[in-house]
Amino acid sequence: MEAISIGLLGLGTVGTGVVKIIEDHQDKLMHQIGCPIKINKVLVKDLTKERAVKIAPEMLTTNAKDVIDNPEIDVIIEVMGGVDETRNYLLQALKNKKHVVTANKDLMALYGSELLSVAIENSCDLFYEASVAGGIPILRSLVDGLSSDHITKMMGIVNGTTNFILTKMTKQGSAYEEVLKEAQRLGYAETDPTSDVEGLDAARKMVILATLGFSMKIDLDDVRVQGITNISEEDLQYAKQLGYTMKLIGMAQIEDDKVEVSVQPTLLGETHPLAAVNNEYNAVYVYGEAVGETMFYGPGAGSLPTATSIVSDLVVVLKNLVLGVNGKSIISPQFEKRMKEPNEIRSKYFLRLHVIDEVGVFANITSIFTNHGVSFEKILQLPVKEKGLSELVVVTHSTSLKDYEEILVELEDLSSVHHIKSSYRVEGNGHS
């Protein structure tokens, strides 16, 4: 076979990394595939911009048709981002029988099932390893490495920005706003950090993971999402004192064929494998019925790590191309989606309250929990912070989300509860 011809949509940070890896590792790639890889056309916004890689000017175009309708091109690599326009480009590319590799989590979380169907119809490959946890080959591990197992739980630190912020807040004892600024200065957070810090970015990745891991079409609306913007230094101190580490955890669980998916700040027991994942690193913890606990750790973003996943996907496409078996590896969801109801979602919770410091308050509060059948694993009653108030921190035993939410409403209504300061999910055990 002569050279295989690649079209690139986008030449930003990740696109540049793709060009660099294809150039630098050409020998290794050729050894695996049996023929050279050639980049043919690249869609860019600005033809005159300075680029970090050398690329012949005639290879650049501002017209997407030069890439997606180009008869010479075998495979499209999409690293332009965005949803609506990009979706149209990729649908067209697939209809033109071009295989697609994408790093676009937003697109895959929203339109993944549509794009995969069109890929199957056109006997095309469509791979998207880089869309979740950058350089970590987690999707391939779910689909191939653990293909024989029944996966029952996935927990991911799948957003590097928030993990960086929480790590720094924990280690430095600094406030959220201050660490956010540091993260922005270092390039770990965007100028508008909303999508990261409110948990939306992580939610999109959990949609992709849950869909693959449970073989069930999960939608973005199915994910309960809570961000990290309200986490205080006090919360982190209590977490530490109780033997927990605070992480933004994407959680996907299946029990009795029913699923729950959430992204929430979570107090993890300090011995949990995810508790040691710090700074901008990502990791996905996978529990399989037969294999037990596994974890996949690595860089969640960055030009070259993300490009590694993209080009590794490309290698699979090209091996398939050489063997003539493209479009055969996409497996449609095996099951109809069934989501857990709030009365079926169970967890332990950390709750921090400011209460009026008067006789009978504690009894009133505990009776609310007792009425819902919820008991405490830990209780800390602490020195008065403000005049007339005292701070109450509890960790509950496992309770249903329905009961817990009702408890929160009833506590809000209680005149002796001054303020519910914070509430987080708890996973695993802290100090005894």
Residues in contact with a copy of itself by the rule CB under 8 A:
17, 20-21, 24-25, 27-29, 31-32, 129, 135-137, 140-141, 144-150, 215, 271, 273, 276, 278, 281, 288-299, 302, 304-305, 307-312, 314-316, 319, 323, 325, 328-329, 331, 334
Question: What residues contact 102, with CB distance under 8 A and at least 6 apart?
Answer: 77, 78, 79, 90, 108, 126, 127, 128, 130, 131
Binding residues for L-homoserine are 190
Rounded to a whole number of angstroms, the minimum distance from the CB of residue 347 to a copy of itself is 24
Active site residue 171: no
Amino acid in position 183: A
Rounded to a whole number of angstroms, the minimum distance from the CB of residue 12 to a copy of itself is 17
Question: Which of these is catalytic: 168, 205, 247, 348?
Answer: 205
Let me know: does 418 contact 385? Beta carbons within 8 Å: no
Rounded to a whole number of angstroms, the minimum distance from the CB of residue 281 to a copy of itself is 8
| CA–CA distance, 354 with 363 (Å, rounded to integer) | 15
Rounded to a whole number of angstroms, the minimum distance from the CB of residue 398 to a copy of itself is 25
Rounded to a whole number of angstroms, the minimum distance from the CB of residue 330 to a copy of itself is 11
| CA–CA distance, 318 with 2 (Å, rounded to integer) | 12
Let me know: does 287 contact 153? Beta carbons within 8 Å: yes
Burial class (CB within 10 angstroms; exposed 0-12, middle 13-18, buried 19+) of 388: exposed
| CA–CA distances in Å: residue 65 to residues 9, 55, 70, 378 | 10, 19, 7, 62
Q: Which is nearer to a copy of itself, 324 or 383 (CB)?
A: 324
Rounded to a whole number of angstroms, the minimum distance from the CB of residue 294 to a copy of itself is 4
Q: Which is nearer to a copy of itself, 36 or 302 (CB)?
A: 302
Let me know: does 392 contact 382? Beta carbons within 8 Å: yes
User: Strand pairing of 346-356 and 258-269?
Assistant: unpaired
Let me know: does 382 contact 393? Beta carbons within 8 Å: yes
Binding residues for NADPH are 105
Binding residues are 9-16, 105, 190
Q: Which is nearer to a copy of itself, 331 or 382 (CB)?
A: 331
Could you tell me which of 97, 101, 130 has the C-alpha nearest to residue 8?
Answer: 101
Q: Which is nearer to a copy of itself, 3 or 363 (CB)?
A: 3
Instruction: Give the bridge partners for 263, in sequence order.
Output: 225, 250
DSSP label at residue 71: T
Please give the positions annotated as active site. Answer: 205
